[in-house]
Amino acid sequence: MSFFDRFKIKRSKSDEIERELEETYTAFQQDLFGVPPAEARKLVRDVIAGCKQKGQEEGTADLRENFGDFLILQAREGTPVDVRIVTKARNEGAKDEDISEWWNLHDLQRRMVLWSEEVFRYANFLSFREQGMDADEAMRRVRHMFPMYGDPNDTTHVSGEDRLIPHELRGRVDRYREKHGAEAILKWNSSFSTFNAFIRREIQEGRL
């Protein structure tokens, strides 16, 4: 039995969540990229189908509601797998409420967040390339302007304070960005190699 199998309880609101995501991300494609309505809806439906399939393959599609709360409780009781997940996030500055917030999302919600972020980052990367930057310079610009999420232990492309920050910090970082605004943050992080290095400093100093 896998780790996630312990918590598989079919959500009654899955169809409602899927419809809401379809509407939200269809509008996202139309407003941000100017994709025609019918094309945007088809694209989003295809992405949702792919996310659902991946969730089924990885065993996360039918996690019970408020799974994040259970994850924290299980970690407090010392269940090894839960402890590893929670400890990794805590080591990077995540609080229990951050961990719960991320994992309480429906699996499809989390996967669509990841997809939309990838689309947005890539669009900015292409824009920088069109401005004459080479691939490395364009990627450095993206990492400086935006937080990059993933496994902090993955040092394939970045290391040290530039490492990926855990997904569990997303909510807190988003609220910080909304509170202060992009212009102010770009000014503050101008001396840092990446947005992630700046975020780590802000966490250490207790400002985030």
Is 150:167 a contact under the CB 8 Å cutoff?
yes
Residue 139 has pLDDT above 70, yes or no: yes
| Distance from C-alpha of 21 to C-alpha of 23, rounded to nearest angstrom | 5
Given pLDDT bands bounded at 50, 70 and 90, which one contains residue 6?
Answer: very low
Please give the distance of CA 13 from its chain centroid, rounded to a whole number: 22
Q: What burial letters (b/e) apply to 165-187, b meaning 16+ CB within 10 Å?
A: bbbbbbbbbeebbeeeeeeebee
- pLDDT at position 10 is 47
pLDDT of residue 207 exceeding 70: yes
The predicted pLDDT at position 3 comes to 39
89, 33 in Cβ contact below 8 A?
no
Confidence (pTM)? 0.88
CA Rg, the chain, in Å?
18
Instruction: Judge whether 107 and 76 are in contact, CB under 8 Å.
Output: no
The residue type found at 121 is: R
